[in-house]
Amino acid sequence: MKMMKIFGLLISFSLFFLSPFVCQANYDSNFTRPPPRPLFIVSHGRPKFHPQQVHISLAGKDHMRVTYTTDDMHVASMVEYGKHPKKYDKKTAGESTSYRYFFYNSGKIHHVKIGPLQPNTKYYYRCGGHGDEFSFKTPPSKFPIEFAVAGDLGQTDWTLSTLDQMRKRDFDVFLLPGDLSYADTHQPLWDSFGRLLETLASTRPWMVTEGNHEIESFPINDHISFTSYNARWLMPHAESLSHSNLYYSFDVAGVHTVMLGSYTPYDSHSDQYQWLQADLRKVDRKKTPWLVVVMHMPWYSTNKAHYGEGEKMRNALESLLYRAQVDVVFAGHVHTYERFKPIYNKKADPCGPMYITIGDGGNREGLALRFKKPQSPLSVFRESSFGHGRLRIIDHKRAHWSWHRNNDEMSFIADEVSFESPRASSHCRSNRFRGEI
């Protein structure tokens, strides 16, 4: 344990001084961040064949993807599962991958897609034929459904607080709008991050998208990659007909959720744009009346940190989202919480999406404390505190959003709003011309 603490201090020191030179796309050099918090390093401490870093994600209709890592490269990519503890009546084989990053060699990363599964049902499972038994509950097939949301998570004491608060109240799916481990090319931090969140991520599906801290590049090479992220966090891009793990979509209950990539091309000639256009055209609002979008870089923000960085992406994609009648857009990147009125093209519009920045999960860089003054009339609530959010979809037109600030022992609801989908408005449904997507 003492050696792990020393390792954590060394990693914190190197990240603090080296991070500005690697993986910091569009870093705002004028913003003075609060001092970084110490990292919380989680070691393995079990046999090499023992599965670790277990997490699950939705993988198409009625299926779940179980991901785990083993140091032993000979462990099978296989999951046994059933509806009763220690009784597994089904077994599915999967695939595996591994990667090398300079002097680091990853373990064997297993991805196993299981199903079909029944909705709103608890399953017990074991990975690779070894180790602990885990369990998860599948999301419901109809309303109500609840999403937990937090971006820029990292692995600090604040991260632990956020995860603890999330655990105290049940939810169905977790949405993470980028910046997961804050490894910044320090590969052992990916392993530590996977162990840190295992107790929660093995029980409910985690749906994530990439942020700037997932980028792996150096100044001597303009090429950027997401090798570690793509290997460890396989999302249902193939199931949603996307050719890239950096953007995809999924359906759950009556909600269609689109996960966009802020650091892969998004102009009108890009693969992402063409995929998004096709994906939105296929949405059947009778089957999925709610439409949610998640990305890392916010399009609307009144914080001075990273101000304006999302403008190019907004110019490229905002009209698509507006014409598709998106209900809510979540973003991270700015280490604060801010909720906006429904907006389109920088103006209040009752038919536009409600934009929420929630980059306050617990990152090591601290909070973004400097807001522009006076507060924009478009910004309803803003506060620089760590926490997480809850989106509860009640039925086909009603929803409730709440933001939970981290306090010492319990979370505090600092902002909440009940609202209806713009599609429930006759003005937005019939009297406003949206045009073709």
Q: Which residues are catalytic?
A: 306
- Whether the bond into 116 is cis, omega within 30 of 0: yes
Burial class of residue 197, CB neighbours in 10 A (0-12, 13-18, 19+): buried
Determine how many CB atoms are found less than 10 A away from the CB of residue 148: 24
Find how far residue 206's CA is from the centre of its chain.
7
- According to DSSP, the β-strands at 328-331 and 290-294 are parallel
3-state secondary structure the chain: CHHHHHHHHHHHHHHHHHHHHCCCCCCCCCCCCCCCCCECCCCCCCCCCCCEEEEEEECCCCCEEEEEEECCCCCCCEEEEECECCECCEEEECEEECCEECCEECCEEEEEEECCCCCCCEEEEEECCCCCEEEEECCCCCCCEEEEECCCCCCEHHHHHHHHHHHCCCCCEEEEECCCCCCCCCCHHHHHHHHHHHHHHCCCCEEEECCHHHCEEECCEEEEECHHHHHHCCCCCCCCCCCCCCCEEEEECCEEEEECCCCCCCCCCCHHHHHHHHHHHCCCCCCCCEEEEECCCCCCCCECCCCCCCHHHHHHHHHHHHHCCCCEEEECCCCCEEEEEEEECCEECCCCCEEEEECCCCCCCCCCCCECCCCCCCEEEEECCCEEEEEEECCCCEEEEEEEEECCCCEEEEEEEEEECHHHCHHHHCCCCCCCC
CA 117/CA 136 separation, integer angstroms: 11
CA distances from 280 to 7, 40, 259, 322, 366 (A): 46, 40, 12, 11, 36
Residues in the chain: 437
CA 334/CA 216 separation, integer angstroms: 20
